Amino acid sequence: MDEFTREVLGSFAVWKKDTLDLHTLFEAGGNDPEARTRVFDIVERLVKEGLLEELGNDFYSLTEKGKQVAAGR
């Protein structure tokens, strides 16, 4: 798993929240526009893989599977 993916998944623990909006998840990419695009692509992939659930209005939460992966299990 690459660094950006780990940071996106770890964002929920860092912010101590069950749901985060896309703009908060962009923080994994810092201020670099290309890195933010990469984060967006990662979020889309994590939704397809079942690690994130899209809640609407650009909000996401970890699925049970995502929580296990984020915890390193």
For the stretch 3-9, contacts whose Cβ atoms lie closer than 8 Å and that sit 24 or more positions apart, written own/partner, are 4/28, 4/29, 4/35, 4/38, 4/39, 4/42, 5/42, 5/46, 8/39, 8/42, 8/43, 8/46, 9/46, 9/51, 9/62, 9/66, 9/69, 9/70
Amino acid 73: pLDDT:
60
Express each pLDDT in 5-54 by its tens digit: 999 999 999 999 999 999 999 988 888 999 999 999 999 999 999 999 99
Ordered domains of the chain (ranges, CATH) = 3-70 (1.10.10.10)
More confident residue, 45 or 1: 45
pLDDT exceeds 70 at position 65: yes
pTM, two decimals, is 0.90
SS3 of the chain: helix, strand, coil, percent, to 5: 60, 15, 25
